[in-house]
Copies of this chain bind each other. A is one copy, B any other.
C-alpha cells in the first residue's frame, strides 16, 4: 500500500493507554483517513490504563471501543492478572512474570473481528521488538504469522502496521515529539503497579524512564519520589 492509498483507507488502533499505543494512535491519525480504537479490559492489575485510553481517545477525537475479555483467567498464571504474584523481569532466558500467554494473539484476533465488522483492513499496534520487555509476542515474526492467520481465517485482507517495531524507546519519544509534541503522553499510563503516580521501579517504568533519558526529554507523567 502506498502512502496515498493509506490516506484513503481507515484503520483500527489497538490502544492500551500506554506510551507506545498512544504514539501509534497519533501516527495512525496522520496516515489514515478515519481512525477507530479498541482497548481491552482483560483483568489486568493496571486497569487504570483503560481510563488513560478513554482520555486519550477523547482528546484525539477517536471512537473507542472498550472490550471485555475474560479469556485468560483459569488458563494461565501471570503477575499482571494474579495480583498476588510478584512482578519480576525475566532472567537467563526466562520470561518476565508479567508475560500473559497468548495475549497479543487474542488482542489481534479481537481487533480484527472488530475491524472486519467496520469493513476495515488496517490494524495499527505498538508492538516493539527493538526495545521491549522480551515478550515473544511483540516480535515481528510473530506479528507476521498472526497477520496471515487473521487474513486466512477471516477471508479479509488484513494488514498489521507496527510503526515502532524497530525503534528504541528514545526513538519513539522523538517520533511522538515530531508528530505532535509530547502533550498526549502526559495522559498515558505505563506502570504495572496500576496507580496513577508511577512507581518508577517496575520493568515497564524502567523501560519508559530509560527512553526519555536517552531522548533527553522530560517525561510529562508523575513518578513516586
Contacts and interface: CB of A to CB of B under 8 A. Distances in A.
A225 B32 CA distance: 56
B153 A76 contact: no
Contact of A113 (B75, B109, B153): B75
Top 8 nearest A-B pairs (CB, nearest first) are A137-B153, A145-B148, A142-B152, A145-B149, A136-B155, A102-B113, A70-B70, A146-B149
Interface string A95-107: 1000001101110
Contact of A95 (B141, B150, B155): B155
- Of A109, A153, A154, chain B has the most CB atoms within 10 Å of the CB of A153
Contacts of A142: 149, 152-153
- Of A72, A102, A142, A151, chain B has the most CB atoms within 10 Å of the CB of A102
Contact of A106 (B71, B72, B114, B145): B71
Interface of A: 67-72, 74-77, 95, 101-102, 104-106, 109-110, 112-114, 116-117, 136-137, 139, 141-142, 145-146, 148-155
Given A69-B70, A71-B110, A109-B105, A136 B116 contact: no
24 contacts: A67-B71, A69-B70, A71-B71, A72-B113, A75-B117, A95-B155, A101-B112, A101-B116, A101-B117, A101-B154, A102-B109, A102-B110, A102-B153, A105-B109, A105-B149, A105-B153, A106-B106, A136-B153, A137-B152, A139-B152, A145-B152, A146-B149, A146-B153, A149-B149
Contacts of A69: 70-71
Contacts of A114: 75-76
Overall SS of chain A's interface: helix
A53 B135 CA distance: 34
Contacts of A77: 117
B146 A141 contact: no
A65 to B, nearest CB: 8
